[in-house]
């Protein structure tokens, strides 16, 4: 593996942790583990950095099986045992239910909501004060565009977000990393991972936004960085205020904030 890539991954991870104040001494962190490249790197980095940082924290991996592949829980359990971290595997039919005939319009919203609720509940019962998700920089940018296009608001996932009065804090230590570099690092490091079994993984709204953004990135290498900077550099003086009396006539309401 190139030494530069490993240094860059560690640098971006540490920059996010310190810049956003994600981890503190004594934290008990529930790691939302899916077996995919992002969550594999997340767990690897959280565990690996304990060997050289001055603070201590505990890790507890949570895997929520969505019911697509009956063998997936066994594969993931093998991965978690090899990682030598305590874990819990929860079998559900969330994915199957979300893709049923009764919920054709937006299966991703229901599936992610049910999975997230289960992770929160498990983290709480296991005494974890923080939950780490493996969302990367591409995820944050795509979610920003999804909310803008389909929910009529400027919003995305936050690197650090408090819930229930700060009793539980969601952290996203991969927020500064590009998906392509995560993939390259995991593969060069030969870390085992599984592909996403979801039938909507390569289709739907997020896939369309991803394709649009990739086209923009190819046209100008600075666009990705500019979009990410723009999300935290909002100039309200040059954005129109809400209309008196409600929304614009051509906007359809009813969509919730997209946060996963």
Please write the tens of the pLDDT for every residue from 86-144.
999 999 988 877 777 766 667 777 788 889 999 999 999 999 999 999 999 999 999 99
For residue 252, being part of any structural domain is answered with no
Who wins on pLDDT, 230 or 110?
Answer: 230
Residue 107 to residue 207: CA distance in whole angstroms: 14
For residue 250, being part of any structural domain is answered with no
Is 50 exceeded by the pLDDT of residue 13? yes
Q: Which residue range forms the structural domain that includes residue 29? A: 3-237
Report residue 253's pLDDT band, with 50, 70 and 90 as the boundaries: very low
For residue 175, being part of any structural domain is answered with yes
Is 90 exceeded by the pLDDT of residue 243? no
Report residue 250's pLDDT band, with 50, 70 and 90 as the boundaries: low
What HEC string does the chain produce?
CCHHHHHHHHHHHHHHHHHCCCCCCCCEEEEECCCCHHHHHHHHHHHHHHHCCCCCCEEEEEEEECCCCCCHHHHHHHHHHHHCCCEEEEECCHHHHHCCHHHCCCHHHHHHHHHHHHHHHHHHHCCCCEEECCCCHHHHHHHHHHHHHHHCCCCCCCCEEEECCCCEEEECCCCCCCHHHHHHHHHHHCCCCCCCCCCCCCCHHHHHHHHHHHHHHHHCCCHHHHHHHHCCCCCHHHCCCCCCCCCCCCCCCCCCCCCC
Report residue 3's pLDDT band, with 50, 70 and 90 as the boundaries: confident
Is 80 exceeded by the pLDDT of residue 257? no
For residue 248, being part of any structural domain is answered with no
String of b and e for 41-55 (b: at least 16 CB within 10 Å)? bbbbbbeebeeeeee
For residue 254, being part of any structural domain is answered with no
Residue 5 to residue 8: CA distance in whole angstroms: 5
Instruction: Tell me the average pLDDT across 179-198.
Output: 93
Who wins on pLDDT, 100 or 176?
Answer: 176
Instruction: Tell me the average pLDDT across 200-211.
Output: 83
Which pLDDT value is given to residue 255?
54
Residue 47 to residue 104: CA distance in whole angstroms: 39
How many folded domains does the chain comprise? 1
Instruction: Tell me the average pLDDT across 142-158.
Output: 94
Is 90 exceeded by the pLDDT of residue 211? yes
For residue 243, being part of any structural domain is answered with no
Exposed/middle/buried for 25, CB within 10 Å: 0-12, 13-18, 19+? exposed
For residue 257, being part of any structural domain is answered with no
Report residue 228's pLDDT band, with 50, 70 and 90 as the boundaries: very high
CATH of residue 232: 3.40.50.620
Say how many C-beta atoms besides its own lie within 10 A of residue 17's C-beta. Answer: 22
Residue 119 to residue 163: CA distance in whole angstroms: 13
For residue 141, being part of any structural domain is answered with yes
Instruction: Tell me the average pLDDT across 153-175.
Output: 95
Which pLDDT value is given to residue 31?
98
Residue 130 to residue 122: CA distance in whole angstroms: 11
């Amino acid at each position: 593996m190139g030494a530069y890539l490993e240094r860059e991954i560690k640098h971006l991870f540490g920059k996010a942790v310190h810049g956003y104040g994600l981890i503190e001494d004594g934290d008990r962190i529930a790691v939302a583990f899916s077996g995919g490249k992002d969550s594999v790197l997340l767990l690897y980095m959280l565990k690996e950095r304990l060997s050289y940082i001055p603070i201590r924290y505990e890790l507890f991996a949570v895997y929520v099986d969505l019911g697509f592949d009956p063998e997936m829980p066994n594969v993931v359990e093998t991965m978690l045992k090899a990682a030598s971290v305590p874990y819990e595997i929860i079998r559900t039919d969330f994915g199957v239910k979300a893709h049923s005939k009764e919920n054709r319009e937006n299966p991703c919203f229901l599936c992610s909501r049910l999975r997230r609720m289960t992770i929160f509940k498990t983290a709480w019962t296991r005494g974890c004060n923080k939950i780490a998700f493996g969302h990367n920089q591409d995820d944050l940018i795509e979610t920003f565009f999804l909310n803008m296009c389909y929910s009529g608001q400027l919003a995305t996932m936050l690197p650090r977000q408090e819930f229930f009065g700060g009793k539980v804090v969601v952290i996203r230590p991969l927020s500064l990393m590009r998906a392509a570099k995560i993939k390259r690092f995991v593969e060069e490091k030969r870390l085992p991972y599984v592909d996403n079994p979801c039938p909507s993984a390569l289709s739907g709204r997020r896939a369309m936004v991803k394709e649009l953004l990739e086209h923009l990135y190819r046209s100008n290498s600075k666009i990705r960085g500019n979009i990410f900077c723009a999300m935290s550099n909002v100039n309200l003086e040059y954005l129109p205020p809400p209309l008196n009396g409600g929304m614009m006539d051509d906007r359809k309401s009813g969509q919730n904030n997209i946060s996963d």
